Structure 1
Amino acid sequence: MGGAIFETAVLLEIVKAFVNRGEEPQVYFWRTSAGVEVDLMVETGGKLIPIEVKLSATPRPAMADAIRTFREDLGEKAGPGYVIHPGKVRLPLAPNVVALPFGEL
């Protein structure tokens, strides 16, 4: 249950950021036929931004696996990816994928 609540909090912060800029957020879910999924996909600036939400405060490179698949499948349409977590550290997890603390949203 905690993960679902944290994911909802992240979604609300993202929507709030768009609304505060006077924009209507375009937020989607992405899943392949093989079952690989990305928690959120936000369309902005002509790019689709993949976002994974993880309750772990210790980001690991494996947390970026679904985002890597997303970026491979979408090619040039894909923007940088983010793994949002409750910790305090911002760090790269893979090429064009950054672990971002919830507090930085």
Structure 2
Amino acid sequence: MYNLSKRHYNIAMITRNLATKILAQAEKFPVVALIGPRQSGKTTLVRSLFAQKTYVSLEDPDRREFASQDPRGFLRALPEGAVIDEAQRVPSLFSYMQTVVDECNEPGYFILTGSQNFLLQEGLSQSLAGRVALLKLMPLSLSELKA
């Protein structure tokens, strides 16, 4: 179990089997993309594993508009990289991300989450080819629930 401290209370989180693989890929690739169905725990998992990273949700209309209107400026505002939740909401970011990760050459710079059709987007596979590790998170398994 992971412990997530939130203000004055403590939340125990079930250890996900994919957690160690995500961390291992973040040591090799500058971008890690975690895909999966809605409510499978993608956001909770990456926020717990990468708590030191800035978190940005592109569900937020203002952030999504900023990222859409000025992708270069949006990424420049994240000088240490970030966890970018619902990244498929702004597919134009991927080609700009390529330039950023090529310049910084730092593993685990961007951690992305998105829906399953995120994988099918040409922008992700073409722009970030060889720079991104794609991992799929499914809802909790019986073994995870029993652990």
More helix by share: 2
More strand by share: 1
TM-score, with normalisation over the residues of structure 2? 0.32
TM-score, with normalisation over the residues of structure 1? 0.40
Higher Cα Rg, which structure: 2
User: Comparing both chains, which one has the higher relative contact order based on Cα–Cα distances under 8 Å and sequence gaps of 6 or more?
Assistant: 2
